[in-house]
Copies of this chain bind each other. A is one copy, B any other.
């Protein structure tokens, strides 16, 4: 394979695209791998398409090795199957919906659980047909509220999605493991360092769920690890619930004027000065912070909810959103406060949220009072804990308010932030935090989809049984971005051999015809040896521009044919390490082959 820069459809850019925030996005555009067509929607140019094809090939090979069979579903699908599982509604504004000329409803599929379930139902009927693993590599659509970072979060993107079908949970575990093992091989072959973490299931249903994250400071996912081996997406971290506290000696709650306490720190200082605890000083962790958020449910309904967390923690909107799925969560706005005059900004307390000791959204006759909002607490706020919080009046706080004794809530929610040093839920030690890019996700779907769509098979006793399913995704187009993120330096990309658009970037410099003749010979020899060559054969481009392009494009081995040719040598450089050798021109092809092999 030989590509010539003189005719390659490529234009490298000096400047970063204005809409690019992360290095991979900047470099993939600047190096001419992709171009933006619309927000979150990209065109693949020749070099980008080659990288993508290599990623796909690795995924296909490992799926085949795992016994998965490839099929291919349409992207444009009728509404009905997604209606049966309620996802037509649950996906809310993330789903691209449209009508055909007969006014029938269609969607652009964000994921294909329904269709895989139905095709197996269509073809199979017996336990003898199972286990079965199917996959596709397919273009998917999600109308993201905030497409970002180029290919990392797009609205049209390519995924490998696989599905397993088993007679029972035990058989499912083996199928799940086979996919999980295949994922380890895929990411290892691609050169993507990964961490497997426990995850939430989101709108996918099911029980067991793990993510493959590539650690990266620009990742959208935060994950935690403990010394004892616990690893989870931060959205899946559960808070260890402390035991109830004996509050029999806590005095009755009392409301006090607290002027000049604009922050939690000033409030704590005032508390320690004017209402000292006998046992220890008040801290921020003794204040109860009530945060007002607005949920948007898939049917468009907006709900105002108050989240109570210890004052030393923030509400983590992504954790909260994961806990309250399928609602979308945002900070409450002015209109929400206007609709709830009982919520006094800065002084919200359980008092405004309902009568002490009773579920507060319910009136005595069992109806929900107008303007009442649900109140959800952090799991640490157990009965007997003692709090300082707002008194629902400007400039006043309530002290010694005891959970369970003086107030209750509608339930608990995992909405507080997770911090380095927090205890792992399994007791395996303190957590450390890091960020990562979600590259893969494996799910136990249980029988959610087979139940919704009626996928049963007859078992050994002739009895119909719901098929146990699993779902497994790899972000194929995202992998290209994750690789660019993992493999670049300040000069450009530094692709691993397995996914590079070519193995060697051959640069001929100067105006000497002998240089171009020698370069042609090396190009031909390398091509014959099965080496993929990108040959910069441009005649009127300066060496500086050619070298800069070679750095930017990031092909793993760079061969320079130039001045050294007079002495019979060419330069062979490893792009990533910078390690450079001069080699006799006659040995160039052999050295390149060795160098490429050494980098595999």
Chain A positions near chain B (C-beta within 8 angstroms): 7-11, 32, 35, 37-38, 41-46, 49, 52, 67, 69-78, 93-94, 96-98, 100-101, 106, 108, 115, 119, 122-124, 132, 134, 139, 141, 143, 145, 155-156
Q: Establish whether residues B9 and A74, one from each chain, have CB atoms under 8 Å apart when the complex forms.
A: no
A42 to B76, CA, bound (A): 10
Whether B38 pairs with A74 at a CB distance below 8 angstroms is yes
Q: Which residues of B contact A38 (CB under 8 A)?
A: 74, 76-78, 106
Contact in complex: A108, B76 (CB < 8 Å): yes
Give the distance to chain B from A115, nearest Cβ to Cβ, in Å. 7
> Chain B: which residue is nearest A100 at the CB level?
B143
Cα distance, A32 to B69, chains bound together (Å): 14
Q: In the complex, which of the residues A41, A72, A78, A96 has the most CB atoms of chain B within 10 Å of its own CB atom?
A: A72
Check B101 against A98 for contact (C-beta < 8 Å): no
Give Cα A44 to B70, complex, Å. Answer: 9
Which B residues are in CB contact (< 8 Å) with A94?
101
Using known A-B contacts A10-B123, A37-B78, A119-B43, determine if residue A71 contacts B98 with beta carbons closer than 8 Å. Answer: no
Contact indicator B145/A101 (Cβ below 8 Å): yes
Query: Within the complex, which residue of B37, B67, B74, B101 is in contact with A77, where a contact is CB–CB below 8 Å?
Result: B37
Complex interface: chain B residues within 8 A of A106 (CB): 38, 96
The answer to whether A69 and B9 have CB atoms under 8 Å apart is yes
Instruction: Identify 12 new A-B residue pairs, CB closer than 8 A, beyond the known A43-B115, A76-B96.
Output: A9-B69, A10-B123, A11-B123, A32-B123, A38-B77, A43-B74, A46-B69, A52-B72, A76-B108, A76-B141, A76-B156, A96-B98
Assembled-state Cα–Cα distance A8/B49 (Å): 31
The docked-state distance in angstroms from the alpha carbon of A216 to that of B41 is 40
Task: Name A132's closest neighbour in chain B (CB-CB).
Answer: B9
Q: Assess whether A74 is in contact with B41, with CB atoms less than 8 Å apart.
A: yes
Please, how many angstroms separate the alpha-carbon atoms of A458 and B396 in the complex? 74
- A43 near B69: Cβ-Cβ < 8 Å: no
Q: Which residues of B contact A98 (CB under 8 A)?
A: 96-98, 108
Q: A8-B69, A69-B9, A97-B98 are in contact. Are A122 and B74 (CB under 8 A)?
A: no
Alpha-carbon separation in the docked complex, A38 to B108 (Å): 13
Closest 7 CB pairs of A and B: A98-B98, A44-B72, A11-B123, A93-B101, A38-B78, A41-B74, A9-B69
From B73, B76, B156, A74 is in contact (CB under 8 Å) with B156
Q: Which chain B residues border A8 with CB–CB below 8 Å?
A: 69
Q: Which residues of B contact A97 (CB under 8 A)?
A: 98
A11 and B124 within 8 A (CB): yes
Do B132 and A74 touch (CB < 8 A)? no
A239 to B179, CA, bound (A): 64
A-B contact pairs, 6 of them (CB 8 A): A9-B69, A35-B119, A35-B122, A37-B78, A43-B72, A100-B143
A303 to B488 alpha-carbon distance, docked (Å): 61
Smallest distance from the beta carbon of A89 to chain B beta carbons, Å? 15
A499 to B70, CA, bound (A): 17
Chain B residues in 8 Å Cβ range of A145: 101
* A145 to chain B: closest residue by CB: B101
A96 CB contacts on chain B under 8 angstroms: 76, 98, 100, 106
Q: Are B77 and A9 in contact (CB under 8 A)?
A: no
Chain B neighbourhood of A115, CB < 8 A? 37, 43
Chain B residues positioned under 8 Å from A10 (CB to CB): 123
Task: Using known A-B contacts A37-B115, A108-B76, A122-B35, determine if residue A71 contacts B49 with beta carbons closer than 8 Å.
Answer: yes
Q: What residues of chain B lie closer than 8 Å to A132, measured between beta carbons?
A: 7, 9
Q: Is the CB of B71 within 8 A of A155?
A: no
Alpha-carbon separation in the docked complex, A74 to B151 (Å): 13
Q: Are A139 and B75 in contact (CB under 8 A)?
A: yes
Which residues of the partner chain B approach A134 to less than 8 Å between Cβ atoms? Answer: 9
By beta carbon, the residue of chain B nearest A157 is B74
* A9: B residues at CB distance < 8 A: 69, 71, 123, 132, 134
Question: Shortest beta-carbon distance, A540 to chain B, in Å?
Answer: 9
Complex Cα gap A94–B94 (Å): 25
**Distance of A70 Cα from B49 Cα, bound (Å):** 8
Residues of B within 8 A of A93 (CB): 101
Of B41, B52, B100, the contact of A76 (CB 8 Å cutoff): B41
